[in-house]
Amino acid sequence: MENYKHILLAVDFYEQVDVIVNKAQLLATQNQAKLSIIHVVDSLPVVDSNYGTEMPFNMDLTTELVAQSKEKIAKIANKLKIPSERAWIEIGSVSYEIVRIAEENAVDLIVIGSHGRHGLALLLGSTANSVLHHARCDVLAVRLQNQ
Ligand code: AMP
């Protein structure tokens, strides 16, 4: 089997993100692959405590979420020594953007959690499932513990 050359790690900021991060790091090392990271700010965001602060009333929510996401991604990217040009923050449909960035950057493996925000109950309708259906490259859904 050929080594993977470019791995894309898709993260939300929910529990167990470290499990996916560590797995992607291990795979990148083992394959001597380039590692990139992506977080997508849903184009219809819902205020959620996982983004940290409470939103003031009149604020442009998407702009605020992008700013917060940049900080969080930067921390993970730093830890993984991923340069900023390979740390993507996109706005739109989560699975669509993950697949698009993968295709545009010759990614050959997407690493994603088996669940996150949508929980185990919605596994089959989840981001992982949608990415698996639409991506042209391999997709690794890292099994996360039941929450
Ligand atoms: P979910 O569909 O929310 O259960 O999430 C499943 C997995 O998809 C997560 O563990 C992440 O790896 C990935 N994911 C979910 N939401 C996002 C997002 N907004 N940006 C990037 N990856 C995401």
DSSP letters for the chain: -PPPSEEEEE--SSTTHHHHHHHHHHHHHHHT-EEEEEEEEESS----GGG-SPPPTTS-HHHHHHHHHHHHHHHHHHHHT--GGGEEEEEE-HHHHHHHHHHHTT--EEEEES-STTTGGGGGGSHHHHHHHH-SSEEEEEPPPP-
Position 116 scores a pLDDT of 66
Query: Which atom, in ligand 1's list, is nearest to the CA of 41?
Result: 19
Quote the number of domains for the chain.
Answer: 1
Is there a domain that residue 126 lies in?
yes
Average pLDDT along the chain, 147 residues, taken 10 residues at a time: 95 88 97 98 63 52 89 96 96 95 98 76 73 96 78
Query: Which atom, in ligand 1's list, is nearest to the CA of 42?
Result: 19
Alpha carbon nearest to ligand 1 atom 15, residue:
12
Ligand 1 centroid to Cα of residue 1, in Å, is 28
**117: CATH:** 3.40.50.620
Is there a domain that residue 17 lies in?
yes
Position 147 scores a pLDDT of 52
Is there a domain that residue 12 lies in?
yes
Is there a domain that residue 1 lies in?
no
Position 56 scores a pLDDT of 47
Q: Which residues span the domain enclosing 16?
A: 6-143
Is there a domain that residue 34 lies in?
yes
Position 133 scores a pLDDT of 94
Is there a domain that residue 35 lies in?
yes
